[in-house]
A and B are shown apart, each in its own frame.
Chain A
Amino acid sequence: MENKIFNLPFIRGISAVVPKKRVNLAELDFDKESLINIMKLSGIHEVRVSAENETVSDYCIRAAKYLFEELNFDKSQIDGIVFSTPSHDYIQPGSGYVVHRYFNLSNDCMVVDLLKTCNGWVFGLFQAYLMIQSGYCKNVLLCAGDTPSKFVNPKDKSMMMVSGDAGSATIISAGEKNYKTAFTFYNDGKGINSLWIPAGGTRTRIKVGVTDVEETDEQGNVHSAENLYMNGLDVMCFAMNSSKYTVNKVLKLMDLSKEDIDLFLFHQANKFMVNTLGKRLRLPPEKVPFQIDGYGNSGNATIPLTLCAENQQKTLNVDKVVCCAFGAGFDSSAAVLTLKDTYFCNLHEFNF
């Protein structure tokens, strides 16, 4: 591998699954004027919400099953799992082992669990690419998704109006086509408190009457230490800075210009953010899709979900794609991918 450019792995197929349950955001219990303004800016009018007994591993496993069936792929060939989510089934072990158990995979199959939010699919790809380029794996199953609905306070308008649940599955394989791929990264630990769930880990254990006490912030959003909290302005500013850095850097690494790229896929936080990032990078709008109306911001599932949803509507031109995502930490990464031989499942919805 030269100059940080991968040439062995390729993305064989991508699948995404959303819950059947839809929530019409116009019917939420907030003042109507606020609802209309937020929906106009976010571009999201409806989201999907998981049932009480469903977790992100349920959706990712279902997505993997569709992928195996539609590709006619023998699941026993999977020798690596990467599971990327901030909402693992258990405190330990990670949900990669839930997948391993479900599909009864080989004891030689490597399992990597990542605690990553919206950057998790891009970073998970990097992890899978490392496993394959090193020669340790030939076929890696990347599961990426989130169920933010389980952590959002119903009285937090800013989060309720964008969050949705979903899971995805991607198979990355060792190939012979010499597809070049590179990744770049940008991290800032100073952003910890701007997008987090403070309680439930070992720093602040759950305590009734303490961690469940609700507070109202300056924007009128209600949350406790057990809820997902986001400082929207901080996140927006980080996304703008980091995206410009990682996208320009990865293009330079690959000796490409923006004009060489067919599609720029940003983490689909909301329409305003995607449009702003496209504007900041001076990208033609037709190359910057926004697809999550009807689904919501499902964290690290939004990029695979967008690819599968776009595929249902038109033929994708995906010879060269830049993917760029950003999430809690703060963290951000970008990648140049070739997807022209990638199979995209149609987006599926599912309930157990």
Chain B
Amino acid sequence: MSNLEKYNAAFEETLEISSDMLPNLQYQQIKTWDSVGHMELISALEDAFDIEFETDDIIDFSSYEKGKEIIKKYGVEV
């Protein structure tokens, strides 16, 4: 699985959405991406890439696109 596929899978599985909803998806834009869903998403991404987000990045992780920039800091290119 490529990094992008793993990244997308984390979103799709934890937020229970299809891939066509991903582009430009924002935190709190959909019911499942609330603060509870956010922590589940973060946990899924940490497990998928074996990384540990800094809490500032957890708070700044405000969209699907922003997340790609943030995850680069942890050596993950998506």
The answer to whether A and B belong to the same complex is yes
Size bracket of the B interface? 10 to 19
Tell me the complex Cα distance, A219–B36, Å.
10
Interface residues in A150-201 by Cβ distance below 8 A to B read: 158
Q: Mark A197-239, 1 if CB is under 8 A from B, else 0.
A: 0000000000000000000001100000000000111101110
Tell me the complex Cα distance, A279–B39, Å.
13
Report yes or no: B39 in contact with A219, Cβ–Cβ below 8 A.
Answer: no
Report yes or no: A233 in contact with B40, Cβ–Cβ below 8 A.
Answer: no
Chain B residues within an 8 Å CB radius of A238: 55
Q: Mark B35-55, 1 if CB is under 8 A from A, else 0.
A: 110111001000000001001
Report yes or no: B36 in contact with A37, Cβ–Cβ below 8 A.
Answer: yes
Q: Is A240 an interface residue (CB 8 A)?
A: yes
Report yes or no: B28 in contact with A233, Cβ–Cβ below 8 A.
Answer: no
Q: Which of B39, B58, B59 gathers the greatest number of chain A CB atoms within 10 Å?
A: B39
Q: Which of A41, A231, A236, A238 gathers the greatest number of chain B CB atoms within 10 Å?
A: A236
When the two chains form the complex, which single residue of B28, B40, B55, B58 contacts A219, counting CB atoms closer than 8 Å? B28
Task: Tell me whether A237 and B36 are in contact in the complex, defined as CB-CB below 8 angstroms, given that A218-B28, A219-B28, A276-B43 are known contacts.
Answer: no
Interface residues in B17-49 by Cβ distance below 8 A to A read: 28, 31-32, 34-36, 38-40, 43
Task: Tell me whether A38 and B36 are in contact in the complex, defined as CB-CB below 8 angstroms, given that A219-B28, A276-B43 are known contacts.
Answer: yes
Task: Tell me whether A241 and B55 are in contact in the complex, defined as CB-CB below 8 angstroms, given that A218-B28, A219-B34 are known contacts.
Answer: yes
Task: Tell me whether A240 and B34 are in contact in the complex, defined as CB-CB below 8 angstroms, given that A41-B40, A219-B28 are known contacts.
Answer: no
Distance (Å) between the CB of B73 and the closest chain A CB?
17
Task: Tell me whether A233 and B52 are in contact in the complex, defined as CB-CB below 8 angstroms, given that A219-B28, A219-B34 are known contacts.
Answer: no
Report yes or no: B39 in contact with A236, Cβ–Cβ below 8 A.
Answer: yes
Q: Is A343 an interface residue (CB 8 A)?
A: no
Tell me the complex Cα distance, A276–B38, Å.
13
Distance (Å) between the CB of A36 and the closest chain B CB?
12
Distance (Å) between the CB of A332 and the closest chain B CB?
13
Distance (Å) between the CB of A244 and the closest chain B CB?
10
Task: Tell me whether A232 and B35 are in contact in the complex, defined as CB-CB below 8 angstroms, given that A218-B28, A237-B59 are known contacts.
Answer: yes
Report yes or no: B35 in contact with A219, Cβ–Cβ below 8 A.
Answer: yes
Tell me the complex Cα distance, A83–B43, Å.
37
Chain A residues within an 8 Å CB radius of B38: 233
Q: Mark A44-81, 1 if CB is under 8 A from B, else 0.
A: 00000000000000000000000000000000000000
Tell me the complex Cα distance, A238–B43, Å.
16
Chain B residues within an 8 Å CB radius of A218: 28, 34
Report yes or no: A276 in contact with B39, Cβ–Cβ below 8 A.
Answer: yes
Task: Tell me whether A280 and B52 are in contact in the complex, defined as CB-CB below 8 angstroms, given that A219-B28, A237-B59 are known contacts.
Answer: yes
Distance (Å) between the CB of A291 and the closest chain B CB?
21
Identify the 5 closest CB pairs spanning chains A and B, nearest first. Answer: A237-B55, A232-B35, A233-B35, A219-B34, A241-B55
Known: A37-B32, A37-B36, A231-B35. 4 other contacts (CB 8 A): A219-B35, A236-B35, A276-B43, A280-B52
Q: Which residues of A contact B (CB under 8 A)?
A: 34, 37-38, 41, 158, 218-219, 231-234, 236-238, 240-241, 272, 276, 279-280
Q: Which residues of B contact A (CB under 8 A)?
A: 28, 31-32, 34-36, 38-40, 43, 52, 55, 58-59
**Can you give 11 contacting A-B residue pairs, CB < 8 Å?**
A34-B31, A219-B34, A233-B39, A233-B58, A236-B35, A236-B39, A237-B55, A237-B58, A240-B55, A241-B55, A276-B43
